[in-house]
Structure 1
Amino acid sequence: MMGKKKLNPYLLMILPAFVVFFVFHTFPVIQGVFYSFTNYRGYGDWDFVGFRNYINVFQDARAMDAYIFTFKFAILSTVLVNIISLVIALGLNAKIKFSKTLRGVYFMPNILSVLIVGFIFNYIFAVFLPSIAQNLGITTLATNILGSPDLAWVGIVIVAVWQAAAFNVILYLAGLATIDQGLYEASNLDGANKWQEFWKITFPL
């Protein structure tokens, strides 16, 4: 007579995480999508309104401006993060002193909490930069840019790029480590310069 079949140990290990993820992530998402088709205000009774909420959003100029800004922010920050991360990774990948120490320094922004980063850059934009700008006679930066409707987005991009570049540097360093150094030696024998090595070997690989 066969004994009872034991539960897969892997299933037992992932089941708690699956339940927690579903309760605190998946279910609220499904609930939010459901309520988006109603006039629910977070309390009291509600009725189905169909796509009225979505139509109102696309007819609201403020909402469209927010979407356009988010789109621009995503493109600009993504381009800057990848360019800066690649340049830093290429520098750290070179044979320089204290390269391992510098890798840890460049990765620090990724481990800092958003709250700490917010306090640091709030001080930089509100106190540090204005004081330097006043001494140098730069009127544009003499005031807190976070309080300016025209320049606040610049501070947001700077903070986002500064923190996101840290993790991307590690990714680029991992990618650079997989490139065979023999390719660079062969390119040197063929007379290729550093720019040609980057476009023909480093960037494609």
Structure 2
Amino acid sequence: MTSEDEGLNWRDYGSLALEGIIASIPTVGAALQTAYFGSKNERRFKRIESFYNELSKSIGELQSQVATNDQLSRISNELSDFIETTNGIIESQSSFAKRSMLHNAFLNILTSPEAVDWSKSNFFMSTVPQIDMIDLQIMFAIQKIPSNRWVIPEEVERTLSLDHFFSIGLLERLTNLGYLEKRFGSITMTDEGTKIDTYYRVTNFGDQFLDFMMKPPVADNAKESDD
């Protein structure tokens, strides 16, 4: 096996196999191959190019706060995995919200590598493909509630104008990820069946997720101008 072959991962092989299958379709295969894979690769490249251009600008603004090469070399394996995961998400997801999360996380790593809990950050990264802006809006809305209070789904629905069952699905998904916790209240028997009051709030783990993925470091000169 050549070094070039060794550089192909399972995603590459899968993509090549699919491209070959589409190309083999009689008469229209070549046209379909060009239409899908040509535009797909162009979109992927543009998204990654845009992401790193924006990252470069932000690093320029934070230059004095970025870790040294020696500090980064000590986490080279973790950083390599993070970059690969980042690129994979950018290639497969068009959401600006997801790219924004990755951008913030990247800056937090580059400015404070010694503070990164890699087990948690890897989990946070694994959940990025599963969530979107609406999930973040729910977490931020609940986070504004005083810590001694819990919210009911109806409050989330009114705040964000969501369908009831859509909000329930989103709240349960965030609970399953560990970013929200819930408790049950009173049980009421109605003509439509049994109703159990359910309450939610953001967990400490959820706060850590938002800090890592949604709160990038602030440049020193920006801090000084606010003082």
- Normalised to the residue count of structure 2, the TM-score between the two structures is 0.24
Higher relative strand content: 2
Greater Cα radius of gyration, structure 1 or 2:
1
Higher relative helix content: 1
- Normalised to the residue count of structure 1, the TM-score between the two structures is 0.26
